[in-house]
Structure 1
């Protein structure tokens, strides 16, 4: 069993399911400890049609949806921060850095997964959490950074790929794309990804449009991918699973 610790760092409830549901299931089954931090409650998002909740109820509703999806995926440690949806880039850098450093030093992940610097689809909140996560990783390792907990260095930082997850299976030469270092066949966990997507009930319009209304939905739900931002050299690319064996003897 792996003793790896993996932290997913994203902007909104549902980001974790769109980009890494199958990978989370694969790693959880291998024994890895998984944690998730979400910077907002998605309070500026849709409420569904017909509405699942009122606008005032949306933040709490989306947090419940997130926790339900995380449990389906085997992510048992979930932290939801209170930054503004659609305005994450305007968050005070010192505050969000401190929040993320505290989480990094407490959970002490070997691997961190977040959006690439372009935010996958150029969403400003996605771009912001990518930048804030990288900044916090550097600060968490710095002995000069004032925070509870001992300094901690992350081994690998992985980014979502330059191809949106709902387009991955349509790329003919995906394995040869220089932006793809990990390519996962998640067919075995596809039903759990579907269940996690459906847990985000308020977001059913976007989920149906991007996933369930597509003719090739089964194929689209069968692949996930990441790019390695930095970390130890990989023995081959693309890798078909995370290198969890490195952590089998970790404390």
Structure 2
């Protein structure tokens, strides 16, 4: 069995982009860890609100712990970076931390967890979210400096499998190494998504779907980067 560590920018990213695969890994007995860059405190509070804006970080951390429990996550780590506040319709922002500080935090987390496989955001940040792109960059740079230990491979989600090329979440510059119909594990993905209550209104508004279940993708595609072959130096 392998140890898989997910590194995500915000609570809910893990489920929206890879929830079915995580449910599959869990069912197969793989060890799962999750590293969250922020608590998502800059996002939406929901409709109706799940609580006051000033408590959103605390509330979304609780939502993340709920989702992690669905997947049977062994270790859940919050790096403590602050998610910049935005209003509905405003362009997303990335954290204000310098890259070297961000990279060092990611590298420390990976060195402590020692996973076999790392899973994170794709090259285009899915729908172009600056923090998703910044997170992918920090993970890549962290992998450069990890010595002598290093994970065996990196998986980036929402890869371009051809059939999903027009999906707004697809990282078009990441050709898929493999894709998975997650229908057999969909109930697990849905259960985790339902934990993220503060984000449900946003999910449905952006996807133009009537409910959370209708919004979730049943195809999940990944680009595989073999870290024993890829030159990170």
* Distance in 1 separating the partners of 2:201 and 2:121: 22
Residue range with higher mean Cα deviation, 23-32 or 87-96? 87-96
Cα offset, 1:210, TM superposition = 4.8
Does structure 2 retain, via aligned residues, the 8 Å contact 1:69–1:199?
A: yes
Match of 1:82 in 2: 80
Q: How does 1:12-51 map to 2 (within 5 A)?
A: 12-51=10-49
Match of 2:90 in 1: none
> Quick check: 1:228 aligned with 2:220?
no
Match of 1:186 in 2: 182
Match of 2:149 in 1: 152
Match of 2:60 in 1: 62
SS of 2:35 mapped into structure 1: strand
> Quick check: 1:203 aligned with 2:199?
yes
Change in Cα spacing, 1:114 to 1:100, as seen in structure 2 (3 Å) is same
Does structure 2 retain, via aligned residues, the 8 Å contact 1:48–1:202?
A: yes
- Counting matched residue pairs gives 215
Match of 1:107 in 2: 113
Cα offset, 1:162, TM superposition = 4.4
Cα offset, 1:101, TM superposition = 1.4
SS of 2:37 mapped into structure 1: strand
Alignment root-mean-square deviation, CA: 2.8
Cα offset, 1:26, TM superposition = 1.0
* Distance in 2 separating the partners of 1:135 and 1:232: 16
Cα offset, 1:31, TM superposition = 1.7
* Distance in 2 separating the partners of 1:23 and 1:33: 13
Does structure 2 retain, via aligned residues, the 8 Å contact 1:24–1:74?
A: no
SS of 1:56 mapped into structure 2: helix
SS of 2:42 mapped into structure 1: coil
- Of 101, 119, 125 in structure 2, the residue corresponding to residue 95 of structure 1 is 101
* Distance in 1 separating the partners of 2:208 and 2:23: 20
- The TM-score normalised by the length of structure 2 is 0.82
* Distance in 2 separating the partners of 1:9 and 1:223: 20
Change in Cα spacing, 1:119 to 1:68, as seen in structure 2 (3 Å) is same
* Distance in 2 separating the partners of 1:117 and 1:178: 7
Does structure 1 retain, via aligned residues, the 8 Å contact 2:157–2:220?
A: no
Match of 2:136 in 1: 130
Cα offset, 1:16, TM superposition = 0.3
Deviations 1:108-154 (A, max 9, x none): 1111111112111110000100000111111122xxxxxxxxx4211
- The TM-score normalised by the length of structure 1 is 0.77
Match of 1:53 in 2: 51
